[in-house]
């Protein structure tokens, strides 16, 4: 059995990536994500993989997409400003259906902002950062061990759905050190790259979807001689200007993810059985919220908590259920208010949804959230 190790969240991401079969990383240094690149630079050559420090974030994103097309599982890590630079190629990966995982360790923005301070300000950038209509999967871990597991899951989803997956870390989890026992090989499932089911001479088309709406695009160098483009293309992979092809293609990109939502959307529920109120959180803030909810419970307040691991696609159904059950939802976020809008939308007026926003570089204290819970119960201001 693996021994317990004291490990940082960012290191756990790198370890998780290796476990999931990632053998190529390209990146550019940026606080507070840099330890992921540093750990990958050390670990990858030990397993025969490759690490390249590229000249900027755009180049790193291009390099991982190239390596992915050539058959490797790939990872790249960055923070807010770098995430912005990568957006164009995230869209490319969505359109050309290239598996890739991008870690965003969030820091305070906009712009250079507060580079070493925690934030959750990229929730919407993760969803809508690139132009056009496209699907995305984003996962937000709250512990060091989950940073490992979520990375494995992110790589699996990228491969299975042939889509970019965002690991939406925050500085709290990225720089947190915890005692962890990593899983043994075989303990977590690892999804292998999808392969074509017929040969070129049997009429193979790279973008013909399987039943799950995901195509088995051949890797380069396997004799299929495919064409890959960021232009809207038909099943042959070649560009098409046709309105019907465009519509069909954009719809399929969305539906391959939306159909599998129940499988992709993960969350934890705490103390909800008898709850009259609920706190909905994600990432590092969930740790503080959990403490605050326990404190409130000890004082007899019937408050529960939902911790979202999957941010995108959004857990609409669960929030709708929750809003029906409780008399109010509190959303503490380390930003000016982002995910709260989604929660309000999904709650659809069934109960009040209150934001507790913080964006001054400091993390929440349990007392702050506890006070907000009490204010929520009293029907007053948060």
Partner 1 sequence: MERSFEKYFRQNRLPHLWCPGCGNGIAMKAIVMAIEKKGLSQDNTVIVSGIGCSSRASGYMDFDTLHTAHGRAIPFATGIKLARPELNVIVITGDGDCTAIGGNLFIHAARRNVDLTVVLFNNSIYGMTGGQASPMTPYGKKATTAPYGAIDRPFDVCQLAIASGATYVARSTAFHVQHLTEMIAGGFDNQGFSFIEAVVQCPTAYGRKNKLPEPADMMKWMRDQAIMKPAWDKLPAEKREEKFPIGLFYSAQYEDYTTAYDEVIQRAGGDQK
Interface with partner 1 includes 58 (CB under 8 A)? yes
Binds partner 1 by CB under 8 A, chosen from 239, 341, 352, 366: 239
Site string for partner 1, 89-128 (x = CB under 8 A): x--x------------------------------------
DSSP-based three-state secondary structure for 368: helix
Q: How far is CA 181 from the centre of its chain?
A: 23
Nearest distance from residue 217's CB to partner 1, in Å?
A: 11
With respect to partner 1, which residue has the nearer C-beta, 37 or 280? Answer: 37
With respect to partner 1, which residue has the nearer C-beta, 93 or 369? Answer: 93
Q: DSSP secondary-structure letter at 233?
A: B
Interface with partner 1 includes 229 (CB under 8 A)? yes
Binds partner 1 by CB under 8 A, chosen from 60, 84, 117, 119: 60
Interface with partner 1 includes 27 (CB under 8 A)? no
Please, which residues have CB within 8 angstroms of residue 336's CB and are 6 or more apart in sequence? 121, 357, 359
CA 234, CA 256: separation in Å to the nearest integer?
Answer: 16
With respect to partner 1, which residue has the nearer C-beta, 32 or 62? Answer: 62
Phi, psi of 107, rounded to the nearest 5 degrees: -135, 175
CA 347, CA 299: separation in Å to the nearest integer?
Answer: 27
* Conformational region of residue 79, where left means phi above 0, alpha means psi within -120 to 50, and beta covers everything else: beta
Counting residues that bind partner 1 (by CB under 8 A) gives: 47
Point out which span in 133-141, 208-216, 225-233, 300-308 binds partner 1 (CB under 8 A).
225-233
Point out which span in 12-20, 117-125, 226-234, 290-298 binds partner 1 (CB under 8 A).
226-234
DSSP-based three-state secondary structure for 186: coil
Nearest distance from residue 3's CB to partner 1, in Å?
A: 21
285: nearest Cα among 363, 354, 374:
363
Residues 57 and 86: beta-carbon distance below 8 Å = yes
Interface with partner 1 includes 81 (CB under 8 A)? no
CA 260, CA 308: separation in Å to the nearest integer?
Answer: 17
Point out which span in 61-69, 347-355, 363-371, 373-381 binds partner 1 (CB under 8 A).
61-69
With respect to partner 1, which residue has the nearer C-beta, 134 or 354? Answer: 134
Binds partner 1 by CB under 8 A, chosen from 63, 123, 315, 363: 63
CA 39, CA 177: separation in Å to the nearest integer?
Answer: 15
CA 89, CA 68: separation in Å to the nearest integer?
Answer: 13
Residues found near partner 1 in the complex (CB under 8 A): 24, 26, 42, 44-50, 52, 54-56, 58-72, 74, 88-89, 92, 220-231, 238-239
């Amino acid at each position: 059995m693996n021994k317990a190790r004291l490990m940082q969240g960012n290191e756990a991401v790198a370890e998780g990536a290796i476990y999931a079969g990632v053998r190529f990383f390209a990146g550019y240094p940026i606080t507070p994500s840099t330890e992921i690149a540093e750990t990958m630079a050390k670990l990858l050559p030990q397993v025969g993989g490759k690490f390249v420090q590229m000249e900027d974030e755009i180049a790193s994103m291009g390099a991982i997409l190239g390596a992915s097309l050539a058959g490797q599982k790939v990872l790249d890590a960055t923070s807010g400003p770098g995430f912005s630079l990568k957006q164009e190629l995230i869209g490319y990966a969505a359109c050309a259906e290239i598996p890739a995982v991008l870690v965003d360790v969030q820091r305070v923005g906009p712009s250079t902002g507060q580079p070493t301070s925690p934030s959750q300000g990229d929730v919407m950038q993760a969803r809508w950062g690139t132009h056009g209509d496209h699907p995305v999967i984003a996962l937000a871990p709250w512990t060091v061990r989950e940073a490992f597991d979520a990375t494995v899951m992110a790589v699996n989803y990228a491969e299975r759905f042939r889509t970019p997956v965002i690991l939406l870390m925050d500085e709290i989890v990225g720089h947190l050190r915890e005692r962890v026992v990593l899983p043994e090989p075989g303990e977590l499932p690892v999804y292998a790259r999808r392969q074509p089911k017929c040969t070129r001479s049997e009429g193979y088309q790279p973008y013909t979807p399987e039943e799950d709406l995901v195509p088995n695009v051949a890797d380069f160098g396997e004799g299929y001689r495919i064409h890959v483009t960021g232009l809207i293309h038909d099943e042959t992979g070649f560009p098409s200007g046709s309105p019907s092809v465009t519509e069909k293609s954009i719809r399929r990109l969305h539906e391959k993810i939306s159909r599998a939502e129940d499988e992709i959307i993960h969350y934890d529920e705490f103390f909800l059985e008898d709850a009259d109120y609920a706190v909905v959180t994600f990432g590092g803030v969930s740790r503080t919220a959990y403490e605050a909810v326990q404190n409130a419970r000890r004082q007899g307040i019937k408050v529960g908590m939902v911790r979202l691991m999957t941010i995108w696609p959004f857990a609409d159904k669960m929030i709708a259920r929750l809003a029906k059950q409780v008399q109010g939802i509190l959303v503490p976020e380390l930003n000016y208010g982002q995910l709260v809008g989604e929660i309000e939308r999904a709650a659809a007026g069934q109960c009040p949804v209150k934001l507790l926003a913080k964006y001054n570089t400091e993390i929440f204290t349990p007392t702050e959230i506890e006070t907000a819970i009490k204010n929520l119960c009293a029907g007053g201001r948060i």
